[in-house]
Chain A
Amino acid sequence: MGKDGSVAYITTKLDAFIDWGRKNSLWPLPFGTSCCGIEMMATLAADYDMSRFGAEAIRFSPRQADLLIVAGIINLKMAPVLKTVYDQMSEPKFVISMGACASSGGIFNVYSVLQGIDKMIPVDVYVPGCPPSPEGLLDALLRLREMVAKGETHSHKRIAALAKGQQVNAT
């Protein structure tokens, strides 16, 4: 607390404390649609063990998750579903785009495939690879933990803008 007793100091520390809690207990929603999903399962399983970083509580309901891992190709018919799932998650929510297809459409530059999920929802961390190795996803998770701790994610920016009274687009 500052010597003048300003509360701003306390709220930032509280935010930092909450973010510290958040970064150590990310609850992922696995949105695995293709081979990246298999690598994601390997990351969650015993060999790579994502629970070492506090992200082992896999939730298949968007209401109970705060980290959306999009692992695999999102075709245009799936895109509104992904958007709905993202909208149903409560703030703060973070997104990892795993693999080439989710990040850019990958090799599928055709009529039926969404050219990157960032056309639909904001993405915090992209993981390159086709599919990325489990280490790649773990690295993305560690990067996201840093971003959560520093308040650099899209979700944090949205909340900060809302706190300032600015108009925010939900996506």
Chain B
Amino acid sequence: MNRSVARPRVVVDDLAAAVEPLRLARFRGEALVASALRLRAPSATSEGAIAIDADNGLADVDARLSLRAIGDALAARGWWLPLLRPWAAVPLWRLVMDAPFVVDALVQRGVLLSVDGDAVDAPRAPRHAAGPSMVHALCGPTPLSLVVRATLRVVPRTHAHLVVTDHGSVAAASAAFVAVTSAARAVAVDAFGTRVAVLAAEHAADAVDDGHSLPVERGAAWGTMPARARASVSIAPGDRAAIGRALLAGRRVVAVPFMQRAAVLQSRPSTTPRLVDVPAAAAALAAALTENKAVKKERP
């Protein structure tokens, strides 16, 4: 059994440089938790930190940057992330482990490393069908790979604008959230309390209007926004009851309609991911697949 080491103890320039300390830790019988790894982040404005591919609506970013830094730098260049702020200042490589929604919503592909330091090819093409999704190997309590650079979906500010509406009740807000998500035309949907924010092209933003909602000024809309999100639990995008429960509990519920993905945001993850070698990570995943509640429930 590996001992878990929680203290920050490995400080490196990049993930490739982290591989050796990870191996050494494993040699000592220690399993590093992800928070024990510290990477020196570049400035978001430094050369090569963010490269925008305007034709394809993509931004290639250094995964040591946080979403907040990436979002600010993109905004200065006239682009939006299809996720509304605020986000915690957690580096992207770390955020994707706890917030799989970020992978679903943003990460189209990337330069990945297996936890053992081998290059992983995450295809350059959209929506490939060549085996299991390697970008999803970034998520979970024992990720199989780490992201060095990520190609994120971005939206030109000229193509999308923000509409925030107050629906008077959580039930109405949940219904509006599901309606906008189901229509699959908005870039991003974000609900909190009785309010729903929609980032969409002008012709698509009206989908949030159910005839009873009131427009809200942008600043006022998010004045009561709670903690900065740094983890997510995915939910079915049409599950009005689950969305309503999350809103009643004071959580933010977000969706990317084009991917039909939705999630409840959390201010902290339920577990801290452990960085173990690839076979051990796969074994942990296999155990989780076998031991989860759904399987136990059906087991005679």
Instruction: Tell me if chain B binds chain A.
Output: no
Residues of A within 8 A of B (CB): none
